[in-house]
């Protein structure tokens, strides 16, 4: 299913990255990445396992430090700001982890309250409850409010993970392999949820994946991460019209069985 | 000539490996130092996670009670029973309560409590934080602008530091009761007589130094478990390793600290 075209404001950039480099133990992972994320845009980053997709969004959210390059998020240079400024910036970034990373000693309600009560002071019990219920409703899982993460399915955990980030009303969403390990139907539900979040909360998102169905369903624009750099960008059709054997291999691996 | 060349090559490799290992050791040491310093910095800065501290105190304190009770009581009985023959030989069986009292208060109770805590609590914390690390729960706290160190590490270390001295006092009591059962059976000493002798034998310094020692043991158990968990490697075997290495390291440090404490207290006495 192809995503409908959305008007994107190309002058309004929320993330700008230039010449980003990162290596681990002499292993060059990112070798000069340039990236722009525009307001209200869903950008899909396609790449094989181990190409450094997760490293890229971890640098954007300040979990990892870049070796070289310029990383600007919402007007601030992530690697150069103080801890307090970084925290303030992080409240505007939602991070959906590959394995959801739900706090497994807490109920769903406590998971959602965790970032809320620690970042938004002076909220009454009633206001907190209301917000928790609202975001759970937005991901369609209000009934799971008192369950433990271990009682939920993979797809439900993904939804709760997304709800937990939505509770701080982020401007940017980072999705790390949102459909990995899910069956095709649940994947489709998550793809729809990603688009719903984009429309309802007016977020700009980076969606990292190697699932082409997800890329086609959620991406306004797609870039391919090959050998540490972004190569080929455009819509799904534009990318896969390409003759590069590495791109072809990617396509064939996804759509032939 | 050929042999010489080979030798040189091998030496260089050896030296390289050694220097890498030294580098890693110093890196680890500086990491430990930074971790401990961060604890002291964040423990005193608001906001405080009171609810979590209470919860962790319960985990460490109340949940250790069954094992501590059993171990303390049995140690009291066994130690008494094994000490009797030597004392009797010198006709000093009536000194048994004093001997027991000194041994339990000065050495056995703090050590037994700390070792049990190292086995139960340190490994627990190591495994818990280790699995939170590998499943990216700690990263998730960090990116949601909350402070995982404060929520996970400070609370646990405070809990162990407070609860292990408390448990130690309890161990003293249970072990003395165990010893009493044995003494009462063999010498028919009355409860009152036994406890008068027990309290006569120990001084304030004995109790005080054991409590201080237990604070140090408690801190060790907590900080080692947290450090190992927080720095565990990716993958599920990283969690097992974190738990295991937490126990080994905590026990090793506890014995070293016991030796140091012995020197200090002897000098004070
Ligand atoms: N914190 C780290 N320390 C060392 N190596 C890392 C770290 N994070 C990622 N790597 C390495 O970087 C490479 C890319 O990882 P990652 O970004 O997770 O790939 P993916 O594209 O599958 O998300 C992998 O080879 C991984 O081993
Ligand atoms: Mg990844």
Are both B145 and B223 inside the same structural domain? yes
Residue A49 Cα: closest atom of ligand 1: 22
Chain B within 8 Å of A87 (Cβ-Cβ)? yes
Confidence (pLDDT) at A252: 79
Residue B221 to residue B223: CA distance in whole angstroms: 6
For residue B267, report the distance from its CA to the centre of ligand 1, in Å: 54
pLDDT tens-digit profile of A43-55?
Answer: 999 998 899 999 9
Chain B within 8 Å of A88 (Cβ-Cβ)? yes
Tokens, residue B185: 């059976």
Mean pLDDT of A117-140: 93
Q: From the CA of A50, which ligand is nearest?
A: 1
Q: Which residues of B touch A98 (CB under 8 A)?
A: 136
For residue A98, report the distance from its CA to the centre of ligand 1, in Å: 13
Residue B129 to residue B53: CA distance in whole angstroms: 16
Q: Where in chain A is the domain with CATH 3.40.50.300?
A: 1-92+170-257
Cβ separation of B144 and A119 shorter than 8 Å? yes
Are both B206 and B258 inside the same structural domain? yes
Residue B205 to residue B207: CA distance in whole angstroms: 6
Q: Which residues of B touch A58 (CB under 8 A)?
A: 139
Confidence (pLDDT) at B9: 52
Q: Which residues of B touch A119 (CB under 8 A)?
A: 144-146
Neighbouring CB atoms inside 10 A of B208's CB total 12
| Per-residue confidence band for B12, with pLDDT thresholds at 50, 70 and 90 | low
> CB within 8 A of A111, min separation 6: which ones?
A102, A103, A149, A160, A164
Task: Please work out whether the CB of residue A26 comes within 6 Å of at least one atom of ligand 1.
Answer: no
Are both B80 and B25 inside the same structural domain? no
Confidence (pLDDT) at A10: 80
Between strands A221-226 and A204-209, the pairing is: unpaired
Are both B41 and B163 inside the same structural domain? no
The answer on pLDDT for A254 being more than 80 is: no
Cβ separation of B146 and A101 shorter than 8 Å? no
**What is the average pLDDT value for chain A, to the nearest integer?**
92
Mean pLDDT of B113-117: 97
Q: How many domains does chain B have?
A: 2
Confidence (pLDDT) at B17: 76
Residue B3 vs residue A10, higher pLDDT: A10
Nearest CA to ligand 1 atom 25: A50
Ligand 2 ion: nearby residues, β-carbon < 5 Å: A 54
Are both B208 and B251 inside the same structural domain? yes
Percent of chain B with pLDDT over 90: 82
Residue A102 to residue A164: CA distance in whole angstroms: 9
Range of the domain at B213: 49-268
Lowest pLDDT segment from A24-33, B9-18, B245-254: B9-18
Mean pLDDT of A196-221: 94
Residue A152 vs residue B10, higher pLDDT: A152
The interface residues of chain A toward chain B in range 30-59, judged by CB-CB distance below 8 A, are 58
For residue A55, report the distance from its CA to the centre of ligand 2, in Å: 7
Mean pLDDT of B11-22: 74
Confidence (pLDDT) at A11: 84
Q: Three-class SS of residue A243? A: coil
The answer on pLDDT for A256 being more than 60 is: no
Confidence (pLDDT) at A257: 47
Confidence (pLDDT) at A175: 97
Are both B10 and B83 inside the same structural domain? no
The interface residues of chain A toward chain B in range 102-121, judged by CB-CB distance below 8 A, are 102-105, 114-115, 118-119
Lowest pLDDT segment from A29-43, B16-30, B122-136: B16-30
| Per-residue confidence band for B6, with pLDDT thresholds at 50, 70 and 90 | very low
The answer on pLDDT for B259 being more than 90 is: yes
Kindly list the residues of chain B whose beta carbon comes within 8 Å of any beta carbon in chain A.
Answer: 47, 128, 132, 135-137, 139-147
Are both B26 and B62 inside the same structural domain? no
Percent of chain A with pLDDT over 90: 81
Nearest CA to ligand 1 atom 12: A52
**What is the average pLDDT value for chain B, to the nearest integer?**
92
What secondary structure does DSSP assign to chain B, as a single string?
Answer: -HHHHHHHHHHHHHHHHHHHHHHHHHHHHHHHHHHHHHHHHHHSSSPP-HHHHHHHHHHHTGGGHHHHHHHHHHHHHHHHHHHHHHHHHTT-GGGHHHHHHHIIIIIIHHHHHHHHHIIIIIHHHHHHHHHHHHTTHHHHHHHTT--HIIIIIIHHHHHHHHHHHHHHHHHHHHHHHHHHHHHHHHH---HHHHHHHHHHH--HHHHHHHHHHHHHHHHHHHHHHHHHHHTPPSSHHHHHHHHHHHHHHHHHHHHHHHHHHHHHHHHH-
Lowest pLDDT segment from A49-53, A122-126, A253-257, B99-103: A253-257
Cβ separation of A90 and B47 shorter than 8 Å? no
Cβ separation of A101 and B142 shorter than 8 Å? no
Distance from CA of A191 to the nearest CA of B (A): 22
- Tell me the whole-structure pTM to 2 decimals: 0.91
Mean pLDDT of A5-15: 84
Chain B within 8 Å of A85 (Cβ-Cβ)? no
The answer on pLDDT for A6 being more than 90 is: no
Cβ separation of A115 and B142 shorter than 8 Å? no
Mean pLDDT of B51-73: 96
Task: Please work out whether the CB of residue A219 comes within 6 Å of at least one atom of ligand 1.
Answer: no
- In the numeric block, the tokens 């048994």 are attached to B96
Cβ separation of B145 and A88 shorter than 8 Å? yes
Cβ separation of B137 and A103 shorter than 8 Å? yes
Mean pLDDT of A140-164: 96
pLDDT tens-digit profile of B121-178?
Answer: 999 999 999 999 999 999 999 999 999 999 999 999 999 999 999 999 999 999 999 9
Determine the residue of chain A that is closest to B138 in CA distance: A101
Q: Is the ipTM of this complex over 0.90?
A: yes
In CATH, A1-92+170-257 is 3.40.50.300: yes
For residue B130, report the distance from its CA to the centre of ligand 2, in Å: 19
The pick from A22, A29, A179 for probing ligand 1's pocket by mutation, whose C-beta has the most ligand atoms within 8 angstroms, reads: A29
**For A30, which DSSP code?**
E
């Amino acid at each position: 299913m192809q995503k409908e075209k959305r008007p994107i404001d190309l002058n309004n950039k929320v993330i700008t990255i230039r010449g980003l480099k990162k290596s681990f133990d002499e292993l060059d992972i990112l070798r000069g990445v340039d990236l722009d994320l525009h307001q209200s845009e869903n950008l899909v980053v396609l790449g094989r396992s181990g190409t450094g997709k997760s490293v890229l969004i971890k640098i954007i959210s300040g979990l990892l430090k870049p070796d070289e390059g310029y990383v600007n998020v919402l007007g601030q240079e992530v690697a150069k700001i103080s801890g307090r400024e970084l925290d303030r910036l992080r409240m505007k970034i939602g991070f959906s982890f590959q394995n959801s990373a739900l706090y497994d000693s807490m109920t769903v309600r406590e998971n959602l309250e965790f970032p809320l009560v620690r970042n938004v002071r002076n909220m009454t019990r009633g206001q907190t409850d209301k917000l928790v219920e609202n975001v759970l409703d937005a991901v369609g899982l209000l009934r799971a409010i008192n369950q433990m993460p271990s009682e939920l399915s993979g797809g439900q955990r993904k939804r709760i993970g997304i709800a937990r980030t939505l509770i701080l009303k982020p401007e940017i969403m980072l999705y790390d392999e949102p459909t990995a390990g899910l069956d095709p139907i649940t994947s489709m539900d998550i793809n729809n949820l990603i688009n719903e979040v984009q429309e309802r909360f007016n977020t700009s998102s980076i969606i990292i994946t190697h699932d082409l169905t997800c890329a086609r369903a959620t991406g306004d624009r797609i870039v391919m991460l090959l050998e540490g750099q972004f190569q080929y960008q455009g819509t799904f059709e534009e990318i896969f019209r390409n003759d590069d054997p590495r791109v072809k291999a990617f396509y064939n691996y996804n759509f032939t069985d | 000539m050929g042999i010489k060349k080979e030798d040189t090559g091998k030496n260089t490799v050896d030296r390289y490996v050694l220097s890498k290992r030294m580098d890693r050791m110093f890196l680890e040491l500086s990491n430990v130092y930074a971790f401990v310093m961060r604890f002291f910095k964040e423990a005193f800065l608001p906001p405080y996670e009171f609810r979590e501290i209470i919860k962790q105190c319960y985990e460490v304190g109340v949940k250790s009670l069954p094992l501590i009770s059993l171990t303390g009581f049995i140690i009291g009985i066994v130690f008494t029973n094994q000490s009797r023959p030597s004392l009797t030989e010198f006709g000093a069986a009536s000194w048994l309560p004093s001997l027991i009292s000194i041994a339990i208060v000065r050495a056995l109770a703090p050590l037994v409590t700390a070792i049990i805590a190292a086995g139960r609590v340190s490994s627990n914390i190591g495994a818990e934080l280790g699995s939170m690390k590998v499943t990216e729960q700690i990263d998730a706290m960090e990116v949601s602008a909350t402070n995982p160190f404060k929520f996970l590490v400070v609370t646990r270390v405070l809990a162990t530091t407070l609860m292990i001295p408390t448990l130690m006092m309890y161990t003293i009591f249970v072990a003395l009761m165990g010893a009493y059962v044995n003494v009462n059976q063999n010498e028919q000493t009355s409860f009152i007589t036994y406890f008068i002798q027990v309290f006569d034998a120990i001084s304030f310094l004995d109790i005080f130094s054991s409590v201080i020692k237990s604070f140090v043991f408690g801190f060790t158990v907590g900080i080692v478990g947290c450090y190992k968990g927080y720095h565990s490697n990716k993958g599920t075997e990283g969690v097992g390793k974190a738990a295991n290495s937490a126990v080994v390291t905590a026990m090793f440090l506890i014995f070293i600290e016991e030796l140091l404490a012995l020197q200090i207290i002897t000098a004070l006495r």
